[in-house]
Amino acid sequence: MATKLSLMSMSITGFSLVILSWYIPALFIDNVEVHRLSTIYLILAGSSEPGLGQHSQ
Of 10, 12, 21, nearest to 44 by C-alpha is: 21
Q: Which residues contact 34 (CB under 8 A, 6 or more apart)?
A: 25
Rounded distance between C-alpha atoms, residue 35 and residue 25, angstroms: 6
pLDDT over threshold 80, residue 55: no
Is the overall model pTM greater than 0.75, yes or no?
yes
- Per-residue pLDDT tens for 43-53? 999 999 888 87
Rounded distance between C-alpha atoms, residue 12 and residue 19, angstroms: 11
Task: Specify the pLDDT at position 32.
Answer: 94
Task: Specify the pLDDT at position 6.
Answer: 86
- Sign, CA dihedral 29-48-5-12, equals positive
Tell me the average pLDDT across 6-19: 92
Task: Specify the pLDDT at position 2.
Answer: 82
Of 27, 21, 28, nearest to 47 by C-alpha is: 21
pLDDT over threshold 70, residue 29: yes
